[in-house]
Amino acid sequence: MYRLFYNPKVSGDILFGLLAPEKKTDRLVRAGDLVLLFSQEEWIGFNLFHASRVYPFPEGGIIFAPEEAMIKALNAVLVGAKASPLLAQEPSGYAVAKIAAMEEHPLDEKAHILTLDLLEKKLTTVSWYPELNVGDEVVVALDGCILADGSVFHSFVSRNIPNEASLMSARELHLGDAPGAYKVKDRVLGSDFFRGGK
């Protein structure tokens, strides 16, 4: 998985690419306007200066699901610098799930334990969002998803309860400021929220 970020108002005309955001950069390789970031011998990211010369990247910050033309233009630069090309249809890490069951958390009166239905699998998580109901369709971050702040969601166990996914808010998805979990309707369960398919 990778994630692209572009916000010229904040960072100037630089496209940031994250491939392994939890690893520490210890080596840089510059090739013209492109800087490749490495952790030991592993390629973990890149910075592309004067990015608007390569493609008219959307300026909203995070790019959850880059279109093929964007990746094709970017790959021309990466391959020219002897870096591996990015996959054009890389999953976003965000999926549509239905709340199949909900119960009160035995140790936290403000939380609920949720069973999430993604058609081909069921996941368990804990949520503190209000106004959730069985049958609601929500957007979740899956294990390994690179989030909007550049961190990575990892499934974990807390108080003996698995948290195998994380419910997302509109703000976390850059889709407005509405409070609570972001709900959708009539989407294919388990499908990639940003890609529109599995």
Decide if 34 contacts 46 (C-beta within 8 A): yes
- The CATH number of domain 3-80 is 3.30.1940: yes
pLDDT per residue over 132-152, tens digit each?
A: 999 999 999 999 999 999 999
pLDDT band (50, 70, 90) for residue 179: confident
pLDDT per residue over 67-120, tens digit each?
A: 999 999 999 999 999 999 999 888 999 999 999 999 988 777 788 999 999 999
Q: Where are the domains of the chain?
A: 3-80, 94-184
The candidate with the shortest Cα–Cα distance to 132, out of 180, 179, 173, is 180
Q: Which long-range contacts (CB under 8 A, 24 or more apart) does 23-28 make?
A: none
- Stated pTM of the model: 0.89
Q: What are phi and psi of 101, to 5 degrees?
A: -155, 150
Report the C-alpha gap between 140 and 61 in whole angstroms.
Answer: 20
Q: How many CA atoms lie within 13 A of 71 on its CB side?
A: 16
Structure tokens at 107: 């140790």
* Residue 198 predicted with pLDDT over 70: no
CATH of region 94-184: 2.40.50.140
